[in-house]
Homo-oligomer: A and B are copies of this chain.
Amino acid sequence: MQPFLSHPFDDDKLKEECGVFGVIGVADAANFTALGMHALQHRGQEAGGIVAYDPETGFNSARRFGYVRDNFTSRSVMDTLPGSLAIGHVRYSTAGSKGNTAIRDVQPFFGEFSMGGAAIAHNGNLTNAAALRRELIERGSIFQSSSDSECIIHLMARSIQKNISERIKDALRRVEGAFSVIAMTRTKLIGVRDPLGVRPLVLGRVGEGWALSSETCALDIIGAEFIREIEPGEMVVIEHGEVQSSRPFGPAKSRFCIFEHVYFSRPDSILGGRSVYETRRQIGVELAIEAPVEADLVCPVPDSGTPAAIGYSQQSGIPYAMGIIRNQYMGRTFIEPTESIRNMGVLLKLNVNRALIKGKRVILVDDSVVRGTTSRKIKDMILDAGAAEVHFRIASPPTAWPCFYGVDTPDRDKLLAARMSEEEMREWIGVDSLKFISLDGLYRAAGEANGRNRASPQYCDACFSGEYPVAPADQIENGFQMKAAE
């Protein structure tokens, strides 16, 4: 089967690895969960799974490769998932699993303990998973998957605590890195966020029940009311309609992932009390202030550059236009004819609005530059169509460092910004100008009026700054070089 592609240039974007969702206290919890996962599909397209609990048939699960809409919409599947309590997970594949064993890597993971079963779904990445895995195998645990997340359920199985909530706490105190976890027992829905709160997690009210979700857009689809975010370092246990909050970890300062604002989250979600769309539009405003240029049109690279392009246009007064049209039916790879087609890969996904672009000075607004290969091809297309000038404006600072907290990034030496200066990048891409928003500009757009607090940054921005809030232990063991202290 060919890979599932959904964003144009998935292969030249950072990719969120997961979305999590759970609901308790509603009939047909699995149906709600499928809808929630569908709304979170942008966080992971490769596979998805649901575990539901029903007093009569116990824990039931279904895990499948592919889109939620293709797997969790038939009666034949959904009828096997009865009950008023369910959790779900969508995932993007990572290098660790490949071939025919990978269905084992699809979450939620389930474990039977002496006091009953539990399932967990994890968004994020554990930075000490390799060491933990070695230790657990040494003690007799048998791993089903190659996933870092499975460590959590084995730590729970070996915990000497009596009830499952306590075992989750116990387990999560042993892990390092980023985690927004949704778990379930026979009667409880549990949500936990790591002390830094790197990945999002929100709470909603649905009828008499409750929902937990990576983003608010998944509350909207089920008609749930958005109540509040789970706080960094907080654990909530929902049982018999009550939400109990506790703080299992020591105090820590929040370091939410700023790239969720730039690209990962859906524009209709609300993060930190702000519309993601509005933050992105504001980035465009800041960019227009920081990096103005004379031109005829401001065009987004669809679809993720759209809000920033609107902001840039509004601030600069240069007309906004759809200079590049996305093919809504893109998806698979076609066979290239022998007489090969220039930039066919891009043409399958995008087309230039030639009659519009011809002879114009064009500002292209994109969300980020990772490898830079796509930017180069888009520039080609725009010039082929007869543009007079091409100016790139990027809605994030140069991406120069990999993320180890649940995002799929290329190795550092594949990142264009890790190898080149801004001017070198401009020349390599081949455009008239190339400008990135500054870190301070990005923080301002995200609501920090005074920009970034260098002494104690308000967000995790390691992919831009190289400052990792949690040391990536497994990676360092494998030879990763941290940024030298300044």
A positions within 8 Å CB-CB of B: 2, 6, 26-28, 31-32, 34-35, 38-39, 41-42, 45, 60-62, 67-70, 72-73, 75, 77-78, 80, 99-101, 103, 111-114, 134, 137-144, 153-154, 157-158, 207, 217, 220-223, 266-268, 270, 274-275, 277-278, 281, 303, 306-307, 310, 314, 319-322, 325, 327-339, 341-342, 344, 347-348, 351-356
Rounded to whole Å, the gap between the CB of A54 and the closest CB of chain B is 12
A354 to B335 Cα, complex, angstroms: 42
State the CA gap A244–B67 with chains docked (Å).
Answer: 48
B275:A353 contact, CB within 8 angstroms: yes
Chain B residues near A141 (CB-CB < 8 A): 140-142, 157
Query: A220 near B277 (CB under 8 angstroms)?
Result: no
Nearest chain-B residue to A63 (Cβ)?
B100
* Chain B positions within 8 Å of A34 at CB level: 334-335
How many monomers of this protein are in the complex?
4
User: What 9 pairs between A and B have smallest CB-CB spacing?
Assistant: A275-B355, A140-B158, A268-B325, A31-B337, A28-B337, A41-B329, A27-B338, A140-B157, A111-B142
Bound Cα distance A114, B354 (Å) = 45
Considering the complex, give the chain B residue whose CB is closest to the CB of A314: B319
A322 touches B310 (CB 8 A): yes
Most chain B CB neighbours (cut-off 10 Å) among A35, A268, A307, A328: A268
A153 x B142 contact (CB < 8 A): yes
Instruction: Pick from B62, B111, B137: contact of A112, CB below 8 A.
Output: B137
In the bound complex, do residue B337 and residue A26 qualify as a contact, i.e. CB atoms below 8 Å apart? yes
- The reply to whether B99 and A335 form a contact with Cβ atoms under 8 Å apart is no
Rounded to whole angstroms, the CA-CA distance of A379 and B351 in the bound complex is: 32
Contacts of A353 in B (CB 8 A): 267-268, 275, 277
| Complex Cα spacing A321 to B41, Å | 24
Out of B62, B142, B322, which one reaches A100, CB within 8 Å? B62
Whole-angstrom CA separation of A314 from B321 in the bound complex: 10
Q: Give chain B residues whose Cβ lies under 8 Å from the Cβ of A101.
A: 60-61
Bound Cα distance from A322 to B275, whole angstroms: 11
